[in-house]
Amino acid sequence: MKKWKLLLAAGVIAIACMGCGGEEKAQTAAEAQGQSSQTESEVEEKNNAAADLEEKTESGDSAAFAQQIKTAMADKDLEALAELCAYPLAVNGEVIESKDDFLKLNGDDIFTEQRCAVIEAVDASTLEETMAGVIMGDATPNIIFKSVDGKLGITGIN
């Protein structure tokens, strides 16, 4: 009789554990599905931005925008460059939240001799898009721009 009680108790415990595991699996599956939906949304947003940038590249908007950047850099015009930025943006590894914050930066940190030379050497008509956007410059220093909310904007100054 003791063996039957022990076996019955073990069976009840096993069934109870199986029920708990099922809840965990259901919760994990629901969380994964939520993350999947969020990821799909982010991917769709990136695809839309890439398609928009591709359209702007094909229509010549990217070359014209790159030329505006080249002019602002050649003139060392911080105000003009600020107008071309999409906020927030990264400047030398620091996140700049607004145009006002950008204008508080030291122009000497933006218009370095090396960065100005790199941007001046860029042929705006041959720029190509990447996943990060359009990169002006082969390495660092560079300026990156892409379509943000349907409008081209600088997203990185490195």
Which residues make Cβ contacts (< 8 Å) with residue 84, sequence separation at least 6? 65, 68, 69, 72, 145, 153, 154
> What's the pTM?
0.64
Which residues make Cβ contacts (< 8 Å) with residue 46, sequence separation at least 6? 131
Q: How far is residue 148's CA from residue 145's CA, in Å, rounded to a whole number?
A: 9
The tens digit of pLDDT for each residue in 98-154 reads: 999 999 999 999 999 999 999 999 999 889 888 889 999 988 899 999 999 999 999
CB contact at 8 A, 133 and 145: yes
Domain count, the chain: 1
The tens digit of pLDDT for each residue in 7-35 reads: 455 555 555 555 555 444 444 444 444 44
- The better pLDDT of the pair 12, 65 is held by 65
Residue range(s) defining the domain that contains residue 123: 1-158
Which parts of the chain fold into alpha helices (H)? 2-59, 61-75, 78-83, 99-103, 107-110, 113-121
Q: For residue 22, what is the DSSP state?
A: H
- Whether a cis peptide bond, with omega within 30° of 0, leads into 141 is yes
Q: Tell me what pLDDT residue 22 has.
A: 46
Residues in a beta bridge with 78: none
